[in-house]
Amino acid sequence: MLGDLLGSLGQTTGNAARRIGIPVPGGRADNSRLEQWLAQTSNTEVGADVTPCPVTLVVTTETRAGAVPVKGVTVSVDGTRLGVTTEKGELRGTASACNGALRLKAVYENSDRRVKREEFTLEITGIDAQAKRATGGAARNFISKVQDVFGSGEGGFPGDKDFTDSYAGSDLVTVGPGGIFEIHVRVKLATLSLTVPYRNQNDRSDSINGVASSGSILCMPSSAEMQARYWNIQKTETDKAGKVTRTAMDRLDIMQRSYARAPKTFSLSAFPRPWQDWGNLRGAMKDLADASNPSSFTVGNGPAGADVETIPGPYADALTELAARGVPAVTSTYATDGHVMIVIGAVVKHDGHSEWLILNDPNGTLASTDSIYGTLKLTGSVGLNGANAAADVRAVQEVLIRTGEYTGAPGAAINSADPNDPTIAAIRKFQGKNGDGVISPGGGTEARMNARVGEGARPTYSAAENERNGPTGDRGRHVYYNGDTSGAYSNTAKKIVNKFRLKGQAWTSVVEPVTALTKEQIAQRLDPGVPRAEPPASGQ
């Protein structure tokens, strides 16, 4: 019998059995389980394609705010791609867990929509198929270059800040019910991003009764247009014959409706113009919404908040709660003395508080030239056969993350003797042709790294990042601002010194459907993940 043969082979066979995924309690092959496994497995399946020590993973990916499913998130386990999440944010796959542990990574990105790349990682330990156990360990959400000067932060130079949120992930892992061992994992993404169309306030001037308006006068109706287009609120007109004409809402339509309903005390040539009064703008939006979709929308002001609110803060959290219900909010800010934008999402920490708001900025000209990054000052060599002090290794890894060469976790150990170690490989990639994979204190590679890091503090930074928002540009689309973002307004009485702040409830317009969106409907309004194309296989 096969069992007798295996029993005589003892420990050697047990090790072999482990390699092909057969449970081996007590260090020896479980004969009955092996016989059962072989009986159920065809000869063609027992080969190179068999996953050793297989475990089934059931992954659900959702936003931290609102628990909305996210489509298009790429999931990998121990460096091997598991797959991409469906419209329901779900993915099922098989991974190898011979050492009883797994490292899961989920990547959410959409460069076309300017969704900054977010990486979620989770350690899963204590995996025991027989005892049906698995434990969630350290979890981390990371977004490199999250803060915008204004615009996307694309262009190869360091951004201003990274978002890092580390916490215990014990509540993210459970074992599925029933007789089959499955590990259920909930991926919680910090990013919540609604798909809201963009309108540049500087693209043209608009005229009413021969009075032209342009530039800073148009941030409010431009933001309201984005809001109307998001909800598919159309300009709707009925002629004398009863024929109904529907066209996409334009900024000028909102301005004209604001003018038509405003008291005659309003002027077209001085502040506040009809569309610059919040009560009148909300009234115009209600008129337009009712004409387009009768009794379908309410229009009101925002959540409770005072004149000056910062991010993080309760007002930002309340705006995030709206976004989690699928509702963007037009709101005024102290980027200048009253610049209006539309909140389309947020970056939320594991404690539930919003660290950043994501906005469509119709102007996009905050133009900070500051960078928090200092210079790299190594105490010893880092890399191939280097001294590799932990603090020096981490410092190098953090710079290489921002320059794009290193994709691992900061603080990861380095194998100084392995030329293909991820950190050493990243150093060589930064160095270019004939790179030796080592950085010496005061050497040329350290100087080049500092030159790259220092770009963020130069006056040319915004231009180098291609973040000047021209009249036809969309660099203000999908920007990440918080209370540390530099603004162009100071008011000592309000305790604002060139920092981005929000105005509160009275300076906000919220269009919300009478019938709340379902979780599935909100998911359809999120920016989906768009996985990067995989490199072609060797020889192709």
Residue 516, amino acid:
A
Q: Are residues 393 and 341 in the same domain?
A: no
Domain assignment present for residue 198? The answer is no
Total of domains in the chain? 4
pLDDT for 111 equals: 82
* Domain span at 334: 206-369+471-524
In a shared domain, residues 71 and 42: no
Is pTM beyond 0.85? Reply is no
Quick one: 146 and 295 in the same domain? no
- The residue among 423, 457, 491 that closes a domain is 457
Q: Which residues contact 447 (CB under 8 A, 6 or more apart)?
A: none
Let me know if residue 200 belongs to a domain: no
Kindly state whether residues 73 and 131 are assigned to the same domain.
yes
Q: Is residue 93 included in any domain, yes or no?
A: yes
Same domain, yes or no, for 483 and 392? Answer: no
Interatomic CA distance for residues 103 and 97, integer angstroms:
10
Last residue of a domain, one of 132, 156, 191: 191
**63 and 106 co-located in one domain:** yes
Are 132 and 25 within one domain? no
63 shares its domain with 80: yes
What is the CB-side half-sphere exposure of residue 256 using CA atoms within 13 A?
A: 12
Q: Kindly state whether residue 534 falls inside one of the protein's structural domains.
A: no
Q: Which two tokens stand for residue 15?
A: 């090790």
What CATH number is given to the structural domain containing 490? 3.90.70
Residue 393: Cβ-neighbour burial (10 angstroms; 0-12, 13-18, 19+): buried
Domain assignment present for 529: no
Mark whether 65 and 93 lie in a shared domain: yes
User: For residue 341, is it within any domain?
Assistant: yes
Beta strands 102-110; 90-96: pairing state: unpaired
Q: Do 160 and 42 sit in the same domain of this protein?
A: no
- Clarify whether residues 480 and 397 are in a common domain: no
Beta strands 54-63 and 182-189 are: parallel
Contact by Cβ (8 Å): 72, 103: no
Distance (Å, rounded) from C-alpha 364 to C-alpha 222?
13
Query: Do the domain assignments include residue 139?
Result: yes
CA torsion, ordered 376, 381, 382, 383, to nearest 10 deg: 140
Q: Where are the beta strands (DSSP E) in 408-453?
A: 438-439
**Are 114 and 131 spatial neighbours (Cβ–Cβ below 8 Å)?**
no
Chunked in runs of 10, what are the mean pLDDT values of the chain (540 residues)?
42 42 44 43 45 93 98 95 96 95 95 89 95 96 75 38 91 90 97 97 94 94 98 95 95 98 94 96 98 97 94 97 98 90 98 96 60 65 95 85 79 92 95 94 89 54 51 82 82 88 96 98 97 51
Q: Do 323 and 211 have their domain in common? A: yes
Within a domain: 414: yes
Domain boundary among 457, 480, 505: 457
Tokens of 168: 């215990």
β pairing state of 133-143 and 115-128: antiparallel
**415 SS3 class:** coil
Predicted pLDDT at 39: 46
